[in-house]
């Protein structure tokens, strides 16, 4: 998957997790928590969903990499580059 | 021949969950939903653990631990259970305090507390704001050096009345004290303050029934009256459990039993690193509870302005150690109006709860124990008189439970109502590093307790189990070592 496909995928996951949030004006390099009402369980759900959909394993010590859209995509790109978009 | 509660059970499962408390059930549900074969074993004849209820003749149903939980429960139930369960969660509107320092009714959220603290307690608005912000900014991995007492001293020096307002409900909610890390207070308090206190319409019995149906629809094999004796290892990893004289193989175990019981009874220290055993031995348990359950006669009604939750105390000062004393001066009352169970019979019930020490009850002779229980009932009725005059004549049923009762039904060491103190969290999280495939999910570390904490911790642990099983599958080790 390319970086932009990964970004789309994260957006799709976020839509399921936070159905009441407007994600159209998300700023990529600002932390999610400063724009959306996300708590630590929401981040765990992102991790679980990525594992379910793509079998990507994110160890607990790397959860901080998921702070913003930009950092998430940067972290996932090398891990998911060989995967096909579903 | 006694009934075989394991009839038709498979020889092997991907995951065995020991205990059907909210954490255990939630782990089982998520792993079942993810497609793993899951066996859930409960020693009692009912599911739910401390999320429980009992029925008495005359149509009375008493809830044991349904006094209130934070708004976050809606989201967790929607995601990890079902939309139907989430839709039955409703707010409690009247939270009342009555003590020698103040009497007030509140919706128990940040806006209303800000109003009370500034108008009635005359605290500077800026201090109130910075206190709320500090509490909300706390995370469980934060510095634990500051205690809850120090947190209050920092923002409201010398204000025992303010501390009472802010602390008393949380002491009841999770057994924490002024000496515990401030984060154990701040996180739970902020969870409540975000939107107030909620309950489950239809009662605990309805919730647990809905959860059981959900578990079954996710193909979880649910068994009651199955007291797990042992978790068996092979080459340092989980291989099987021994239950009702049978050995069932598995790749992972999630124990929802008390943390200390998990380590010292189910595993046994011989199988563990001595340093870890020492760390586990140091884990302090939280306190236990006593409760008095009162059912009013059919047709007896109570004005809803009496409150949903009432924190009452006759003690002039606020001291968390006094809340645990046998010489009870503080009680939390939960009123259950007929709307609690819209489909049930019209009944009004009242449950009085106090925090208690197991040791104050465990060593009594049988006669002294019965006498103490009777005394607990009588002194409670005397105290209730203030809010419900002529209570004795209006009662259809009354009975009491003690720390011994809680121990009996859940096998919690020392009848602990709220799991362990903060250090229990690290031991619980550290268990899979000791024994591959072995996990603990259940009330630990104060924050991971209560209905919401237990459910969320069940999710966190299910995520770990899923990661482990999937990693094992991709590296080719698809089956349990036999
Ligand atoms: C009096 C009281 C009032 C409370 N009020 C509230 C409240 O108002 N709001 C709130 O949010 N929380 C409240 N709580 C706390 C809340 O009920 C608990 O934190 C929560 O239910 C604990 O869930 P758990 O999953 O940790 O385990 P538990 O409920 O303790 O369940 C553990 C289960 O494991 C089973 N088990 C143990 N050993 C074995 C074995 N060897 N084999 C098989 N099964 C085994 C037990 O029988 C039990 O079913 C209250 C608790 C008490 C006692």
Q: Is the pLDDT of residue B129 over 70?
A: yes
pLDDT value at residue B409? 86
Tell me the residue ranges of DSSP E strands in B348-421.
Answer: 349-356, 395-401
Please indicate, yes or no, whether residues B321 and B357 belong to a single structural domain of this protein.
yes
Please indicate, yes or no, whether residues B381 and B295 belong to a single structural domain of this protein.
yes
CATH number of the domain that B74 lies in?
Answer: 3.30.519
Asked whether A17 and A46 are in contact (CB, 8 A), the reply is yes
- Taking Cα atoms as reference points, which of B10, B29, B6, B19 lies closest to residue B465? B29
B337 belongs to a structural domain: yes
Asked whether B14 and B439 are in contact (CB, 8 A), the reply is no
Please indicate, yes or no, whether residues B70 and B29 belong to a single structural domain of this protein.
no
Residues of A in contact with B466 (CB under 8 A): 48, 51
Long-range contacts of B112-115 (CB under 8 A, 24+ apart): B113/B165, B113/B193
pLDDT value at residue A86? 66
Residues in chain A: 86
- Taking Cα atoms as reference points, which of B347, B376, B353 lies closest to residue B364? B376
> Tens digit of pLDDT for each residue in B109-125?
999 999 999 999 999 99
> Tens digit of pLDDT for each residue in B133-172?
999 888 777 777 899 999 999 999 999 999 999 999 998 8
B96 belongs to a structural domain: no
Residue whose tokens read 């901080």: A64
Q: Is the pLDDT of residue B229 over 50?
A: yes
Residues of B with CB under 8 A from a CB of A: 34, 72, 75-76, 79, 139, 456, 459-460, 463, 466-467, 470-471, 474
What distance in Å separates the CA atoms of residue B468 and residue B457, rounded to the nearest whole number? 17
Å between B82 CA and nearest CA of chain A: 14
Please indicate, yes or no, whether residues B303 and B399 belong to a single structural domain of this protein.
yes
Domain boundary among the residues B361, B381, B410 is at B410
What distance in Å separates the CA atoms of residue B381 and residue B388, rounded to the nearest whole number? 9
Q: Is the pLDDT of residue B4 over 70?
A: yes
B479 belongs to a structural domain: no
Which residues line the pocket of ligand 1, CB cutoff 6 A? B 18-24, 41-44, 49-51, 64-65, 67-69, 227-228, 256-257, 289, 291, 353, 406, 410-412, 417-419, 442-443, 449-452, 454
- Residue B196 has phi, psi (to 5 degrees) of 95, -165
Q: Is the pLDDT of residue B478 over 60?
A: no
Please indicate, yes or no, whether residues B292 and B406 belong to a single structural domain of this protein.
yes
Please indicate, yes or no, whether residues B349 and B324 belong to a single structural domain of this protein.
yes
Residue whose tokens read 């891990």: A79
> Tens digit of pLDDT for each residue in B418-459?
889 889 999 999 999 999 999 999 999 888 889 999 999 999
Question: Within 13 Å of residue B375, how many CA atoms lie on the same side as its CB?
Answer: 10
pLDDT value at residue B139? 77
B104 belongs to a structural domain: no
B27 belongs to a structural domain: yes
Region B273-298: mean pLDDT is 94
B210 belongs to a structural domain: no
Segments of chain A scoring below 70 in pLDDT: 86
B66 belongs to a structural domain: yes
∠ Cα B475 B37 B205 (to 5°):
140
Query: Which domain covers residue B462, as residue numbers?
Result: 12-45+224-284+418-474
Q: Is B370 helix (H, G, I), strand (E, B) or coil?
A: helix
- The percent of residues above 90 in pLDDT, for chain B, comes to 80
pLDDT value at residue B482? 33
Question: Based on the structure, what is the number of domains in chain B?
Answer: 3
Please indicate, yes or no, whether residues B243 and B232 belong to a single structural domain of this protein.
yes
Rounded to two decimals, the ipTM of the complex is 0.87
The answer to whether A57 contacts chain B (CB < 8 Å) is: yes
pLDDT value at residue B216? 98
Please indicate, yes or no, whether residues B253 and B346 belong to a single structural domain of this protein.
no
pLDDT value at residue B286? 87
Nearest CB to B467: which of A39, A45, A51? A51
Question: Within 13 Å of residue A85, how many CA atoms lie on the same side as its CB?
Answer: 12
B336 belongs to a structural domain: yes
Q: Is B420 helix (H, G, I), strand (E, B) or coil?
A: strand
Q: Give the range among A14-18, B17-21, B230-234 with minimum mean pLDDT.
A: A14-18
Å between A24 CA and nearest CA of chain B: 22
Residue nearest to atom 37 of ligand 1 (CA): B257
Nearest CB to A41: which of B34, B456, B467? B456
Domain boundary among the residues B410, B439, B461 is at B410
- Provide DSSP, B62-106: EESS-S-EETHHHHHHHHHT-HHHHHTEEE---EEEESSS-EEEE
Please indicate, yes or no, whether residues B333 and B392 belong to a single structural domain of this protein.
yes
Asked whether A56 and A48 are in contact (CB, 8 A), the reply is no
pLDDT value at residue B416? 82
Please indicate, yes or no, whether residues B334 and B302 belong to a single structural domain of this protein.
yes
Please indicate, yes or no, whether residues B322 and B387 belong to a single structural domain of this protein.
yes
Question: In this structure, what DSSP letter does residue B199 have?
Answer: E
CATH number of the domain that B253 lies in?
Answer: 3.50.50.60
Please indicate, yes or no, whether residues B254 and B357 belong to a single structural domain of this protein.
no
Domain boundary among the residues B410, B428, B452 is at B410
């Amino acid at each position: 998957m390319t970086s932009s496909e990964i970004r789309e995928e994260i957006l799709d996951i976020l839509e399921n997790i936070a159905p009441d949030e407007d994600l159209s004006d998300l700023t990529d390099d600002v932390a999610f928590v400063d724009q959306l009402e996300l708590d630590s369980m929401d981040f765990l759900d992102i991790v679980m969903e990525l594992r379910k959909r793509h079998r990507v394993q994110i160890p607990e010590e790397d959860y901080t990499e998921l702070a913003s859209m930009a950092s998430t995509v940067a972290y996932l790109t090398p891990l998911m580059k060989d995967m096909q978009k579903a | 021949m006694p009934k075989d509660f394991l009839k038709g059970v498979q020889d092997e499962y991907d995951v065995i969950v020991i205990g059907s408390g909210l954490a255990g059930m939630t782990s089982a549900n998520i792993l079942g939903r993810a497609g793993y074969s899951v066996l859930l074993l409960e020693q009692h004849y009912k599911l739910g653990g401390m999320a429980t209820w009992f029925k008495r003749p005359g149509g009375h149903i008493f809830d044991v631990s349904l006094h209130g939980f934070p708004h976050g429960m809606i989201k967790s139930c929607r995601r990890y259970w079902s939309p139907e369960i989430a839709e039955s969660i409703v707010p409690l509107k009247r939270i009342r305090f009555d003590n020698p320092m103040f009497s007030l009714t509140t919706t128990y959220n940040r806006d209303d507390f800000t109003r009370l603290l500034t108008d009635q307690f005359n605290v500077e608005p800026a201090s109130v704001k910075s206190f709320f912000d500090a509490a909300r900014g706390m995370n469980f991995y934060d510095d634990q050096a500051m205690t809850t007492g120090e947190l209050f001293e920092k923002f409201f020096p010398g204000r025992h009345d303010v501390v009472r307002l802010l602390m008393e409900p949380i002491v009841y909610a999770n057994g924490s004290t002024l000496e515990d890390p401030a984060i154990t207070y701040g996180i739970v308090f902020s969870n409540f303050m975000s939107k107030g206190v909620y309950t489950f319409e239809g009662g605990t019995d309805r919730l647990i029934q809905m959860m059981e149906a959900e578990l079954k629809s996710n193909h979880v094999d649910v068994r009651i009256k199955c007291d797990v004796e042992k978790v068996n290892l092979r080459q340092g990893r989980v291989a099987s459990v021994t239950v009702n004289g049978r050995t069932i193989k598995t790749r992972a175990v999630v124990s929802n039993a008390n943390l200390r019981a998990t380590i010292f009874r189910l595993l046994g220290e011989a199988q563990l690193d001595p340093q870890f055993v020492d760390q586990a031995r140091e884990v302090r348990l939280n306190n236990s509870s006593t409760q008095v359950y009162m059912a009013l006669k059919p047709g007896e009604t109570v004005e809803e302005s009496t409150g949903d939750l009432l924190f009452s105390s006759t003690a002039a000062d606020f001291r968390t150690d006094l809340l645990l004393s046998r010489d009870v001066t503080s009680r939390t009352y939960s009123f259950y109006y007929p709307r609690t169970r819209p489909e049930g019979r019209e009944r009004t019930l009242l449950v009085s709860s106090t925090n208690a020490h197991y040791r104050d009850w465990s060593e009594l002779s049988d006669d002294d124990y019965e006498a103490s229980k009777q005394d607990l009932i009588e002194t409670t009725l005397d105290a209730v008189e203030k809010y419900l005059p002529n209570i004795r004549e209006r009662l259809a049923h009354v009975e009491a439970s003690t720390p011994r009762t809680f121990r009996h039904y859940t096998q919690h060491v020392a009848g602990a109502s709220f799991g362990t103190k903060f250090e229990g969290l690290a031991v619980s999280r550290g268990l899979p590093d000791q024994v591959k495939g072995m996990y603990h999910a259940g009330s630990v570390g104060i924050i991971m307790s209560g209905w919401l904490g237990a459910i969320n911790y069940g999710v966190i642990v299910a995520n770990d189990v899923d990661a482990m099983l999937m990693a094992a599958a991709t590296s080719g080790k698809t089956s349990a070592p036999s």
